[in-house]
Amino acid sequence: MTISRNSSRKWSIQSVVTADLGFAKKARNFAAGLDVPMAFIEKRRISNDSKAEALTLIGDVFDRDAVIVDDEVDTGGSIAQAVNIVKEYGARDVYVSFVHPLLSGNAGRAGWANCPVTRFIATDTIPIPEDKLGFFGDRLTILSVAPLLGEVIRRANEGRSVGEMFNE
């Protein structure tokens, strides 16, 4: 996969990293579609609530551009830890892609401004509040889900398969 940054440089994703084993199956499909290897962040729960600590990386990102993928970002703490671990293991550029930007509470205050992320990529399924946009700087790309939803509606109205859109 090549993502155009500007006319003088292109980014090439060479590893897909999942920040959460719950998203591993979808991340595997993403990696297979790009024909690149996959890595996992190993996490451990540190209490009875939802807090987890990232421990290590399973897989190889050394001297590769990596994209960390997840379904949703709530506070961003796990993503920040994942980025730091991927960088510790020698990744060059790190991209973070997630579908739903929940960004609750103190999201972004976990150091995103200083987080070594080349680009954050999210969808518009949930609007990002103005006060949280600043945490991304100029590194945020928001992709619209409107064309996808429009195609789903069109297919449903025509009696055509929606699953076919996703190779199902």
Catalytic residues: 43
Rounded CA-CA distance 156/26 in Å is 24
Q: Are the C-beta atoms of residues 127 and 147 closer than 8 Å to each other?
A: no
* Among the listed residues 100, 107, 136, the one whose alpha carbon sits nearest the alpha carbon of residue 120: 136
Question: Where would I find the beta strands (DSSP E) of 23-148?
Answer: 38-45, 52-58, 66-73, 94-101, 119-123, 140-143
**How long is the chain?**
168
Rounded CA-CA distance 104/120 in Å is 17
Rounded CA-CA distance 101/125 in Å is 8
